[in-house]
Homo-oligomer: A and B are copies of this chain.
């Protein structure tokens, strides 16, 4: 008989997954309490976004000798049209020296992660590891392709290398192949934590010993003290480096990239294999959007960190104000928080469960929002931590928001 509509049970199981549902709950709460001050959103500041910049950058890109509108606005190569510009920026800003041929331009970092995971999942025996708590975009992407993710503790210095050894062994004992370890070494989302340079060297050695690729995701690297990226330290082509211009130029462009210089059979690079997959996901990244980013890089003389000086100062000011504001307001010794040296996020530990119910109450009764840390743990395991984002709040909002948060915290919650 006619059965035109669908049961959720008949669709891919990721659609009933906690990781996807919890993020939906957060968006829904934010919509329900539009006047709440949000320490939940990790969006970049946007006061300076200006259509005139977008027009100028597009024209700058088109003014290059080898570019004309007719070919630019056609279908483009799967690897993109600004890999050379990205390579120059990485060399200038990060000391990452790579051939543009090893770069694929993607629809934000998210598509980059998606392609890397897709390439590495040969079959149901493959698994990836991720420093935990971890970015939901990684676990969510893995979930949509039935790829298991195993957590590695982040320890005090961004990764617990003993735990890495243990998890690799456990995954192998299950008959699975650990293919890669995903991490954000700088000002991680959600922990705010960064990895010391010595630990980076040790991690590279450990990854080599385990035959693991490292998937380095670097959205926040500009926004704090500059440490060498894993890719800059990588002498053995063990690091797949994922970047984005969402935080440093415009989120709306949706332009990111992957540096994948690993050699595959027959002289191809991993970037070429990712491009084959990309041709079946999005064909190519919008060349209009690539041109906007390319023009921005040209205008900045490829010194994009320097071009972000004003934004960097805002995020630093916000962090300082958040830390001072918490210290001034909170006297309960059971409530503690970390002190990230950069990025968009910090983590508060409270003596009760931080869950969707608390978030709902925070929105309804106190007009303040945060992200429960459970969202960043597989299976949404309950914790007593919240992530506070300070990237897109004004000084006034920070003070008012912290007043409201303090009121919420004083009102308590379900004891742990």
Contacts and interface: CB of A to CB of B under 8 A. Distances in A.
Contacts of A289: 254, 286, 288-289
Chain B CB within 10 Å, residue with most, of A71, A76, A213, A285: A285
A279 interface: yes
Q: How many copies does the complex hold?
A: 2
A349 to B, nearest CB: 28
A136 to B, nearest CB: 9
Given A122-B12, A286-B252, A264 B47 contact: no
A110 B281 contact: yes
Interface residues of A, number: 90
Given A73-B251, A74-B251, A288-B292, A208 B4 contact: yes
Given A43-B74, A54-B288, A121 B12 contact: yes
A320 B284 CA distance: 32
A265 B8 contact: yes
Interface string A1-32: 11111111111111100001001100000000
A7 B286 CA distance: 31
A73 B43 CA distance: 11
A223 to B, nearest CB: 17
A17 to B, nearest CB: 9
Interface in A111-132: 111, 114, 118-123
A54 B58 contact: yes
A377 interface: no
A46 B59 contact: no
A73 to B, nearest CB: 4
A107 interface: yes
Interface of A: 1-15, 20, 23-24, 43-44, 46-47, 49-51, 54-55, 58-59, 62, 69-76, 107-108, 110-111, 114, 118-123, 137, 140-141, 143-145, 208-209, 211, 213, 236-238, 246, 250-255, 262-266, 270, 273, 276-277, 279-289, 292
Chain A to chain B: the 7 pairs with minimum beta-carbon distance, closest first: A73-B252, A252-B287, A140-B280, A107-B282, A8-B265, A254-B286, A4-B236
